[in-house]
Amino acid sequence: MSIVESAGQVLREGAFGHATGLACRECGHEIPLGPNYACPECFGPLEIAYDFPAITREEIEAGPANIWRYKALLPVPSDIEQSPNMEPGYTRLLKAHNLGRELGIDNLWVKDDSTNPTNSFKDRVVACALSAATEFHSKVFACPSTGNLANAVAAAGARAGIKTVVFIPANLETPKKVNSAIFTDSLIAVNGNYDDVNKLASEIAGEEDGWAFVNVNVRPYYAEGSKTLGYEIAEQLGWRLPDQIVIPVASGSQLTKVHKAFQELIKLGLVEEKPYRVFGAQATGCSPVSVAYKAGVDAIRPVKPDTIAKSLAIGNPADGIYVLDICRETGGAVEDITDDEVRAGIVLLARTEGIFTETAGGTTVGVLKKLVETGQLDTSLETVVINTGHGLKTLDAVTELVGAAATIDPSYDAFRASGLV
C-alpha cells in the first residue's frame, strides 16, 4: 500500500477501507480522517463517512466467521485479518422458544454477545478502534470504562502488543476488575462514577500525544464496530430485518449503530426495505433517556447513577438524543425497570434459555417483559433481544437470589427426606 496524508497524519492508502472522512452528525461538516471526535465548526459528534462499493451477500458469506466478513463496510484496511486481533463477532442468534412462551411472544430471538472473546459485545468496537489506533501510530491504547470495555481493551492490547491503560470507577464489580487486571498492569481505579472517569480521560487525551482513547478521540472508528451486531442479525435471519428489536442503552451508541447498520443494508440492496421498531432499555437508577422519552422532551437531563446495572450507568449519555429520535421515528419506545426487576430478568433468561447474562442483559430482558405487560411491544411480531455480556462478570447481583435447594447428608434417605422428589 502507498502512503497518503490526511489531517496531518501519514496514513497507508486504504488504511480505513472505504471511509472518506469524518462527518458531523449535527451540521454535516466534513473533515479528513484523523483521531478526532468533535466537529470543529459546531462541536457536534463526528462519525465515519463512506463511499461504499457494490457488495453481494455471497461475498460477505465467503468471509471469515467474525466481524471482518463485513470489513468492506467498516473503517478498516482490506488486510485487517493479517494484524493480531481478537477476531470477535459472528455470535449465536438463538431462537428463544421458552422465553417467548413465558412472555407470550410468538417469535423471539436472543442475539447472545456473551460468547465474544472477553464475554461482551465490547470486543466488536475495540477491534475497530484498535485498527484505527494502529494506523494512527498510537503508543498507548486506553479507555474510560464501566467494566466490559476495560476488559476488551486490556485483552486486545495484550494480543496486539501495544501498551494499554484502562480507567474504571473504583466501586466496579470485582470480576470486571480482575478481568482487566489479568491482561494489563495499568488498571487505574478512579474515585468517582463513570462520568467522572470519562471527564478525566478526555483531559488526558487533550494533554498527552499518542494516546488512543477508544471511546474518546478514536470514538468515530470505535462506534462503527457496533454496526456488526445489526449486520449479523440480518444475515442470520436469512438476510432480512426483524420486526422489533430491544437494545440496552448506556451511551446509546450501540442502539444508534444497529439502526445505522439496518439502513446501510437497505441502501446497499442486501435486505428488503421494511418497517421495524427499535426499543431502548435502561435501569431506573440511571434512566435519563427513558425519562426524556416518557416526558416527551428532546433534552436529556444528566443524572447521578444509582443502579446495580453498572455497565449501563452513564448519567450523561453521548448518544441519548439520537436514541430518542430513532425510537420515536421507528414507533418503538424507551423503558426502564428497577434493580429487583433487573435481577429477575437475569434469572428469567437463565431458567428459560440457559443463558447467564450480566445486569445489562437482565435489564434488557426485564424491559422486554415490561414492554409486553404494558402493551408497548406487539407480541405477534418477530422480535430480537440483545444480550451484551456474561453473568459471571456480575455474580454479586444474583448471589443472594439463588443457591443450593437443600444441604443433605450423603445418603439416599436424606435425599428422599429433602422433599425434592
Q: Hey, what amino acid is at 58?
A: E
Q: What class is the 121-219 domain?
A: alpha beta
CB 109, CB 368: distance < 8 Å = no
Q: Hey, what amino acid is at 260?
A: K
Domain made up of 93-119+220-397: CATH architecture: 3-Layer(aba) Sandwich (3.40)
In this prediction the pTM is: 0.95
* Domain boundaries along the sequence of the chain: 93-119+220-397, 121-219
Q: Hey, what amino acid is at 37?
A: Y
Please give the pLDDT value at position 6: 60
Please give the pLDDT value at position 1: 43
Q: DSSP letter for 399, please.
A: T
- Write the CB contacts of 389 (distance below 8 Å, at least 6 apart in sequence): 113, 114, 119, 120, 121, 148, 311, 357, 358, 360, 361
Same fold, 93-119+220-397 and 121-219: yes
- Strand bridging mode 244-248 / 211-213: unpaired
| Spans of the chain below 50 pLDDT | 1-2
- Strand bridging mode 93-95 / 30-31: unpaired
